[in-house]
Amino acid sequence: MSEIRFLDGAQTRAALEPRRVLEAVATALVAIARDQVSAPPRIAAHAPGGLLGAMPGHVPGLGLAAKLVSVFADPERPGRSSHRGIVALFDAVDGRPLALMDAEPLTEIRTAASATLSARTLALPGAGPVAVVGTGAQARAQVTLLAALEPATPVLVAGRDAGRAESVAALHPAGRPARGIEDAVREARTVFCCTGAVRPVIHRDWLAPGTHVSSVGGSHGPELDAATVRDATLFAEWSGAAATLPPSGAHELQGLPPERSVTPLGAVLAGDSPGRRDESELTLFKSTGHAALDVAAAHVAHAVARSEGRGSCVTR
């Protein structure tokens, strides 16, 4: 007999302990960089209003999982999209299904974790406030994670809606809304861009020397301008961020000239590749998401849920 644990959205969120997720995501990123992960490029079925993506993956020591996620435009909020789905975790030895959980909080925190790791690895230490651009679910997840990990670091939140920016900023003890996106980006030296943009919301001339940018949005188009990509040293979860077409690859990294390289963030975390080379360098981490990160977060959620008795179980 085997047991399958079911976690709803609230139970999944409660089981995603931030520091454990950060550690597991770091392990997954290193495994990606060292070609130890089994994960085919993401595929998607397109419907009139959006897409359904499939992301299976195996990470040694973390497990075997698959995510089904829908990305659809939200007609009630023009310019925004919803990300809904499920993650199934399996036993990597015998293939038994172990758990089924909500993909939305899991995707939010694993994405925020990879962005945070990029900043910890590539940004200049102690170089002023952090800016978070965006006021949607991913921006909220990013600010919430920063509040858990770095509550004393000043955080500026900027977006199109001043009221929403104020609400997101309130999630952080040292958070405050900025007057606008340009003001926030010009003041910060670490910028988290978390939008559903279809055209650039950050421009090169706003970025001071030595700034680090972490871009996790842009599922439907580029959220960074071409000049920022041109001038930055580039990092991503995997080389396919530039080598494959969206939705698997990044809009911003399409058509890079042959001499431009994209360094896997895990290679820097592992000490296998250099990160920032000097204080004036512009660094850019462009996230596309990766199945290995879902495996990492699912591993943590399942372990915490089991130890704390969260969720409901079915024996089969």
How far is 18 from 2, CA to CA, in rounded Å?
Answer: 29
Q: What mean pLDDT is reported for the chain?
A: 94
CATH code for the domain defined by 112-286 = 3.40.50.720
Percentage helix, strand, coil for the chain under 3-state DSSP, each rounded to 5: 35, 25, 40
Q: What is the pLDDT of residues 127-164, one digit of tens each?
A: 779 999 999 999 999 999 999 999 999 999 999 999 99
H-run or E-run covering 27:
helix 18-33
Token output for 158? 């900027």
| The pLDDT value given to residue 78 | 64
How many CA atoms within 13 Å lie on the side-chain side of 229?
21
Q: What is the mean pLDDT of residues 267-281?
A: 97
How far is 286 from 243, CA to CA, in rounded Å?
Answer: 13
How far is 36 from 60, CA to CA, in rounded Å?
Answer: 7
Delimit the domains of the chain by residue range: 3-106+291-315, 112-286
- Tell me which residue of 33, 21, 20, 24 sits closest to 266, measured CA to CA: 33
Q: In sequence order, what are the residues at sequence separation of 6 or more whose Cβ sits closer than 8 angstroms to the Cβ of residue 259?
A: none
CATH fold group of domain 3-106+291-315: ornithine cyclodeaminase, domain 1 (3.30.1780)
| The pLDDT value given to residue 221 | 87
Token output for 44? 């998607």
- Tell me which residue of 252, 293, 264, 291 sits closest to 41, measured CA to CA: 291
Tell me the C-alpha to C-alpha distance, in Å, between residue 241 and each of 25, 143, 226, 234, 250: 17, 25, 16, 11, 5
> Over 70: is that where the pLDDT of 77 sits?
no
Q: What is the mean pLDDT of residues 5-26?
A: 98
| The pLDDT value given to residue 1 | 64
| The pLDDT value given to residue 80 | 64
- Planar angle of CA 240, 246, 248, nearest 5 degrees: 45
How far is 285 from 114, CA to CA, in rounded Å?
Answer: 9
How many CA atoms within 13 Å lie on the side-chain side of 152?
1
Q: What is the pLDDT of residues 46-74, one digit of tens each?
A: 999 888 989 999 999 999 999 999 988 77
Token output for 130? 């952090």
Radius of gyration of the chain from its Cα atoms, rounded to whole angstroms: 19
| The pLDDT value given to residue 79 | 60
Concatenate the DSSP letters of all residues of 204-265 into one string: GGGPPTT-EEEE---SSS-SB-HHHHHHSEEEESSTHHHHS-TTTS-GGGTT--TT--EEEH
Q: What is the pLDDT of residues 31-50, one digit of tens each?
A: 999 999 999 987 889 999 88
Question: Do β-strands 283-286 and 212-215 pair in parallel, antiparallel, or remain unpaired?
Answer: parallel
Question: Do β-strands 3-7 and 97-102 pair in parallel, antiparallel, or remain unpaired?
Answer: parallel
How far is 63 from 221, CA to CA, in rounded Å?
Answer: 32
How far is 156 from 168, CA to CA, in rounded Å?
Answer: 10
How far is 3 from 253, CA to CA, in rounded Å?
Answer: 43
> Over 70: is that where the pLDDT of 226 sits?
yes
Is the distance from CB of 81 to CB of 50 less than 8 angstroms?
Answer: yes
The SS3 call for residue 178 is: coil
Q: What is the mean pLDDT of residues 109-128?
A: 94
| The pLDDT value given to residue 273 | 96
> Over 90: is that where the pLDDT of 316 sits?
no
Question: Do β-strands 43-47 and 312-315 pair in parallel, antiparallel, or remain unpaired?
Answer: unpaired
